[in-house]
Amino acid sequence: MSYDQQNIFAKILRGELPCIKLYEDSKTMAFMDIMPQTDGHALVIPKEAAATIFDLTPESLAATILITQKIAIAARKAFSAPGVLIAQTNGAAAMQSVPHLHFHVIPRREGDAMRMHAVFQEDMEKLRKLAAEIIAALN
């Protein structure tokens, strides 16, 4: 899978598309998934252009996983979630749909059903409210 400068996450990083931002620093960005599998589903991406984990520099990978952990801790706290699924796929055969490395942070409760990925677009106002809970837990 090659990197496409026109992928949705590259456009978000350039400010060409909006997102509901949770966190940003010089190396990473975290925002709400607009097609969440559960309430509170967030994405963490490196700012470095890399399609897969194999393409990312070790420095950017380290920064990205540290922020993934930070967002997961905040989501767990915000939603009193006993579990958090962290997922990352590489290549079309692994079901990667956006050619920009990203980690999914998905709060989980035993017995709760997960929606299919990229099928249902959530109400933006609901996403903003869920984001506010994660942001509050980050602080």
pLDDT digits (tens, 9 = 90+) for 84-106: 999 999 999 999 999 999 999 99
Give a yes or no: residue 3 inside a domain: no
Tell me if 50 is assigned to some domain.
yes
H-assigned helices in the chain: 8-13, 58-78, 124-138
User: Angle CA(91)–CA(94)–CA(96) in degrees, nearest 5?
Assistant: 55
| Statement: the pTM of the whole predicted model exceeds 0.85 | yes
In whole angstroms, give the CA distance from residue 114 to residue 12: 25
At 38-53, the pLDDT tens digits run 999 999 999 999 999 9
In angstroms, how far is CA 69 from the centroid of its own chain? 11
**Is residue 118 scored above 80 in pLDDT?**
no
Note the pLDDT of residue 131: 98
Which is catalytic among the residues 41, 100, 102, 104? 102
By residue range, what is the domain housing residue 27? 8-138
| Average pLDDT value for residue range 110-135 | 92
Q: Is residue 84 part of a domain?
A: yes
Please report whether residue 39 resides in a domain: yes
Q: Is 41 a catalytic residue?
A: no
CATH number of 128's domain = 3.30.428.10
- Between CA 109 and CA 31 the distance in angstroms is 21
